[in-house]
A and B are shown apart, each in its own frame.
Chain A
Amino acid sequence: MDLTFSPQHQAFRSRVRDWLAAHVPAEPLPSMDTAEGFERHRAWERTLAADRWSAVSWPREYGGRGADLLEWLIFEEEYWASGAPGRVSQNGIFLLAPTLLAYGTDEQKRRHLPRMARGDDIWAQAWSEPEAGSDLAAIRATAVRDGDGWRLDGQKTWSSRAAFADRCFGLFRSDPDAERHRGLTYFMVPLEAPGVTVRPIAQLDGEAGFAEIFFDGVRVGDDAVLGEPGQGWRVAMATTGSERGLTLRSPGRFMATADRLLALARGSADAALRDRAAAAWCDADAYRLHTFRAAADLAEGIDPGAASSLTKVFWSELDLRMHELALELLGPDAPAAGPWLDGFLFALAGPIYAGTNEIQRNIIAERVLGMPR
Chain B
Amino acid sequence: MRFQFTEEQKLFAGAVREALEKTCPPEAVRSGPRPGPGWAALADVGLFGAHVAEEYGGLGLTPVDTVLAYEETGWFAVPGPVVETGVVAPLVVPADRLADLAAGRLVVSARPAGDRFLPDADLADLVAAGGRVAPRGAVALTPHRSADPARPLFTDDLDAAGAPGLDHAAVATAAQLLGLGGRLLAEAVGYAGERRQFGTAVGAFQAVKHRLADVAVALEFAGPLVHRAAYSLAVGAPDAARDASAAKLAAGRAAHAAARAALQVHGAIGYTDELDLRLWLTRVFALRPAWGDDARHRARLAGALLDGVPRRLPEGP
Instruction: State the A residues within 8 Å of B (CB).
Output: 1-6, 9, 17, 70, 77-78, 81-82, 252, 255-256, 259, 262, 265-266, 271, 274-275, 277-279, 281-283, 285-290, 292-293, 295-297, 299-300, 307, 310, 313-314, 358, 360-362, 364-366, 368-373
Given contacts A289-B225, A297-B4, A5 and B209 within 8 Å (CB-CB)? no
Contacts of B316 in A (CB 8 A): 77, 81, 255, 288
Given contacts A255-B312, A286-B250, A371 and B1 within 8 Å (CB-CB)? no
Contacts of A4 in B (CB 8 A): 1, 314-315
Closest residue of chain A to B316 (Cβ to Cβ) is: A77
Instruction: State the B residues within 8 Å of A (CB).
Output: 1-6, 64, 185, 189, 192-193, 200-201, 203-204, 206, 208-210, 212-214, 216-217, 220-225, 227-228, 231, 235, 246, 249-250, 298, 301-302, 305-306, 310, 312-317
> Is there contact, CB below 8 Å, between B1 and A2?
yes
> Is there contact, CB below 8 Å, between B189 and A369?
yes
Given contacts A17-B317, A279-B301, A281-B310, A1 and B3 within 8 Å (CB-CB)? yes
Contacts of A256 in B (CB 8 A): 317
Contacts of A369 in B (CB 8 A): 185, 189, 212-213, 216
Given contacts A275-B302, A364-B213, A368-B216, 20 further A-B contacts (CB under 8 A): A1-B6, A17-B317, A77-B317, A252-B317, A262-B310, A274-B302, A277-B305, A286-B225, A289-B224, A290-B221, A296-B2, A310-B217, A310-B220, A313-B214, A358-B206, A360-B213, A369-B185, A371-B203, A372-B200, A372-B204
Bound-state Cα–Cα, A280 to B12, Å: 33
Tell me whether chain A's interface is mostly helix, strand or loop, or mixed: helix
Closest residue of chain A to B188 (Cβ to Cβ) is: A369
> Is there contact, CB below 8 Å, between B314 and A292?
yes
Bound-state Cα–Cα, A290 to B3, Å: 9
Bound-state Cα–Cα, A70 to B2, Å: 10
B247 to A: closest C-beta gap in Å = 9
> Is there contact, CB below 8 Å, between A3 and B228?
yes
Given contacts A293-B4, A313-B213, A78 and B314 within 8 Å (CB-CB)? no
Bound-state Cα–Cα, A358 to B214, Å: 11
Given contacts A286-B250, A358-B210, A1 and B302 within 8 Å (CB-CB)? no
Closest residue of chain B to A258 (Cβ to Cβ) is: B310
Closest residue of chain A to B230 (Cβ to Cβ) is: A1
> Is there contact, CB below 8 Å, between A372 and B231?
no
Bound-state Cα–Cα, A285 to B221, Å: 10
A6 to B: closest C-beta gap in Å = 7
Bound-state Cα–Cα, A299 to B3, Å: 11
> Is there contact, CB below 8 Å, between B224 and A1?
no
Complex partner residue of A293 from B206, B208, B224, CB under 8 angstroms: B224
Bound-state Cα–Cα, A14 to B56, Å: 46
Closest residue of chain A to B189 (Cβ to Cβ) is: A369
A373 to B: closest C-beta gap in Å = 7
Closest residue of chain B to A268 (Cβ to Cβ) is: B306
Contacts of A282 in B (CB 8 A): 225, 246, 249-250, 301, 305
B300 to A: closest C-beta gap in Å = 10
Bound-state Cα–Cα, A159 to B70, Å: 48
> Is there contact, CB below 8 Å, between A372 and B193?
yes
B255 to A: closest C-beta gap in Å = 15
Contacts of A82 in B (CB 8 A): 317
B59 to A: closest C-beta gap in Å = 17
Contacts of B312 in A (CB 8 A): 255, 285, 288
Complex partner residue of A5 from B1, B212, B228, B301, CB under 8 angstroms: B1
